[in-house]
Structure 1
Amino acid sequence: MSIDLLEPFTVPFVRRAVIGGVLLSAVSALVGVWVIVRGMTFLGEAMSHGMLPGVAIAALLGGSLVLGAAVSAFAMALGVNALRRNKRFGQDTSIGLLFVGMLSIGVILVSHSQSFATDLTAFLFGDVLAIRPEDLGLLLGALAFVALVSVPLYRPFLVLSFDPRKAQTLGLRPDLANVAMLTLLTITIAVSFHVVGTLLSFGMLIAPSAGALLVARRIPTVMAVAFAIGSFSTVVGVLVSWNAGTAAGASIAATAVATFFALAGVVQFVERRSAKRPVTEFSS
């Protein structure tokens, strides 16, 4: 039984899914690298789940789910930013408390909906094959905004990631740069949950960037490699979903994570080979 790899791409909704995944990969690459470099991984994970109250309220009021997700995620980020000044406990404690609190409120709100199971499943896992043309426009707009903000703030983001005190000394306004980074993270999470769901959006944000950091060092190169990994994962994930009948969003995220571990294995193998290689000196 032969498998026609091009057959799925003749279907309009599959083409939209691939285009949406590629656009999401570009947005995630521009933001995910900074999230890892700045040690914001746990915050990103918490924000991806902290969207639920905003999504629930938006659904109950008949408003925009993406806007509700963005407002809820940003409110959580501001809460974490405010609590981090408390000297009695660390930032991870405040993130954990807000994470559980926001998720609990969201579940309580959604539980009042008659379609609780359907709503929660769609929120958690998304439906990449249900992407509409207007969703592609939203992703394209998010990519344009994130790129326009990232380019002029590249230097503040870079210095802030490695030496916040130096950023202050150089007059790069680290507080403003931090708010800008939280805003970009909020936008990325908000637009991605509609594609792959809140449980998988974090994987698309982190896995390609983490894989890229294994093989590249300069931030622009890392972002380019992360975009390539994310796009590759989208195409492979959609093909796996089409031929194996699996969930498309989960297949995409699983491919991204599998690619990371494959790269990690290759890098580790090469490093071990290099370490074991004997150094021979030849004399004339």
Structure 2
Amino acid sequence: MDWLLIPFEVSFVRRALVAGVLVAAACAIVGTWVVLRGMAFIGDALSHGMLPGVALASLAGVNLLFGALLSATVMAVGLTALGRSRRLSQDTGIGLLFVGMLATGVIIVSHSRSFAVDLTGFLFGDVLAVGAGDLVGLAVALALVAVVSALGHRSFVALTFDARKAHTLGLRPGLANALLLALVTVTIVASFRVVGTLLVFGLLIAPAAAATFWARRISTIMLVAALLGGLATVAGLLVSWHGGTAAGASIVVSAVLLFFLSALLSAVVPSRG
């Protein structure tokens, strides 16, 4: 059992574990809505569309979170506006914004040799370098996501399964959709500097998708997704410690493998709670 416990005797690995669990919990809540509503492409677009703002913030010498928030807000507003167009399908608008923002970010990065080196950090983060301040920020983001999700639960459910009925019941599906985009934005922005956009997107989609094989109730899906995300964090950190692999990427691979394992097992044991 030493191989399982020794890595977590090191302080920075313990902090990485806490950070991963916090991100997994926030992503379980938001990711459940993303998966049930078929918003995975939106999550991917938001996570990678932050690059221009992050690059500009780096060049200007300001906090990267401000740049990330600026880009993510532009993306969210753009997605909301294009979503109202009857001439364009939603995925077309998302694709255009995604490619446009990402290409703009690459152009900015190409003019900064110093930031080009940090591009790997943008994608994969550095979960092993998490500090106490980062953990506080993640905890605050998790609390905000949990509160908003709880308060808007009824509207989110109606929007997810029958948007027309939500409108009939006066639940304002437009506002609910905007709040969901805001939740995705908050989760990604709060987490990317610590764990990178790849890890955030991986934990946003894979555990929630895996949980749908085992649960029907939304609250149960969120709980199972959080447990699977936490398990992926532990497994990824162990693989990283013993195998010398990148911690963030190892966590993402673990989460994706858990999804495929869930898919296989659900075919054999089809019971769902």
- When the two structures are superposed, what TM-score results if normalisation uses the length of structure 2? 0.95
Q: Distance in 2 between matches of 1:4 and 1:263?
A: 25
Q: Distance in 1 between matches of 2:158 and 2:212?
A: 18
For 1:83-94, what aligned pairs fall within 5 Å after superposition?
83-94=82-93
For 1:8-157, what aligned pairs fall within 5 Å after superposition?
8-157=7-156
Show the counterpart of 2:224.
Answer: 225
Partners of 1:16 and 1:131 within 8 A in 2 = yes
Per the TM alignment, residue 217 of structure 1 is displaced from its structure 2 partner at its CA by: 0.4
Q: Which SS does the other structure have where 1:217 is aligned?
A: coil
Q: Which SS does the other structure have where 2:3 is aligned?
A: coil
Q: Structure 1 pair 91/105, CA: closer, same or farther in 2 (3 Å)?
A: same
Q: Distance in 2 between matches of 1:220 and 1:253?
A: 23
Larger deviation, residues 3-12 vs 161-170? 3-12
Q: Distance in 1 between matches of 2:175 and 2:212?
A: 26
Q: Distance in 2 between matches of 1:155 and 1:57?
A: 39
| AA in 2 matched with 1:103 | L
Q: Distance in 2 between matches of 1:191 and 1:148?
A: 16
Q: Distance in 2 between matches of 1:95 and 1:62?
A: 30
Gaps of 5+ in 1: 272-284
Partners of 1:110 and 1:119 within 8 A in 2 = no
Show the counterpart of 2:259.
Answer: 260
Per the TM alignment, residue 67 of structure 1 is displaced from its structure 2 partner at its CA by: 2.8
Per the TM alignment, residue 71 of structure 1 is displaced from its structure 2 partner at its CA by: 2.1
Per the TM alignment, residue 148 of structure 1 is displaced from its structure 2 partner at its CA by: 1.3
Larger deviation, residues 258-267 vs 69-78? 69-78
Per the TM alignment, residue 4 of structure 1 is displaced from its structure 2 partner at its CA by: 2.5
Partners of 2:27 and 2:200 within 8 A in 1 = no
Q: Distance in 2 between matches of 1:70 and 1:132?
A: 21
Q: Which SS does the other structure have where 2:213 is aligned?
A: helix
Show the counterpart of 1:280.
Answer: none
Q: Highest Rg: 1 or 2?
A: 1
Per the TM alignment, residue 195 of structure 1 is displaced from its structure 2 partner at its CA by: 2.9
Gaps of 5+ in 2: none
Backbone CA RMSD of aligned residues: 1.3
Q: Which SS does the other structure have where 1:171 is aligned?
A: coil
Identical residues among aligned pairs (%): 59
Deviations 1:251-282 (A, max 9, x none): 001000000000100112335xxxxxxxxxxx
Q: Which SS does the other structure have where 2:86 is aligned?
A: coil
| AA in 2 matched with 1:263 | S
| AA in 1 matched with 2:154 | R
Matched, 1:183 2:197: no
Deviations 1:104-137 (A, max 9, x none): 1111112222313321111111111011110001
Per the TM alignment, residue 3 of structure 1 is displaced from its structure 2 partner at its CA by: 5.2
